[in-house]
Amino acid sequence: MAVSLQKGQKISLDKEAGTALTRIKMGLGWDVASTPKSGGFLGSLFGGGGSNDSIDLDASCIMFDASKQPIDAIWFGKLQSKDGSIVHTGDNRTGAGDGDDEVIKVDLTKVPADVSKVVFCAVIYDGQARNQNFGQVANAYIRIVNTQGGAEVARYDLSEDSSTETAMIFGELYKNNGEWKFRAVGQGFAGGLGPLAASYGVAV
């Protein structure tokens, strides 16, 4: 049975899955809230589109080395990492429908040895200009699925009121003593990608 994570909680993927994981997928999902609330390296990477009555969340991930320097970024405009270990399956501009809205697949056997962390985040496309924020997003989550067999390993539901934030770090996949672990983050940022990137020391 999948573990339901709380903000800040850390888990060992292999221990939770009961087996050594080799391929996983990170599924991100969201809906538009029925009653909306008011409220250098990465700068050119994220964009998208959508209509005024929908919210376009663009899921992405950033790979870091042990020195906390960004190595690569994967998003709907660049669907695969340079090494081929991470693949984004494509953009969902509305969040409509059941199940995962966007999926990022990770082949843990192909992730380069110098990669120590992969950060999974989402940015509302043109959120400030369109006066949109995570307070208008409902049922947002990230879940980890064992690609072999399709079993859900862990899930983190974002439940906080983020009425000013237009960017969100959902979670971090990181290596500790050679073992892959996951931390539920749930940290929102007003101002979009810039403040999110700055939290990792990256200028945009």
Residue 174 is part of a domain; what is its CATH number? 2.60.60.30
Residue 204 belongs to some domain of the structure: no
Could you give the CA distance from residue 59 to residue 170 in angstroms, rounded to a whole number?
Answer: 9
pLDDT of 95: 46
Query: pLDDT-derived band of residue 23, with 50, 70 and 90 as boundaries?
Result: very high
Query: Can you tell me the mean pLDDT for 46-59?
Result: 62
**Contact by Cβ (8 Å): 118, 106:** yes
- Domain total for the chain? 1
pLDDT of 200: 82
Could you give the CA distance from residue 91 to residue 85 in angstroms, rounded to a whole number?
Answer: 19
Residue 107 belongs to some domain of the structure: yes
pLDDT of 174: 96
For residue 123, CA distances in Å to 97, 142, 165, 197 come to 19, 14, 9, 11
Whether the predicted pLDDT of 196 surpasses 90: no
Average pLDDT, the chain: 85
Residue 203 belongs to some domain of the structure: no
CA angle 84, 119, 56 (to 5 degrees): 90
Residue 75 belongs to some domain of the structure: yes
pLDDT of 44: 45
For 69-123, write each residue's pLDDT tens digit: 999 999 888 999 999 999 999 866 544 556 888 999 999 999 999 999 999 998 8
Query: Can you tell me the mean pLDDT for 154-158?
Result: 93
Residue 153 belongs to some domain of the structure: yes
Domain that holds residue 120: 3-39+46-198
pTM: 0.84
Query: Can you tell me the mean pLDDT for 161-185?
Result: 90
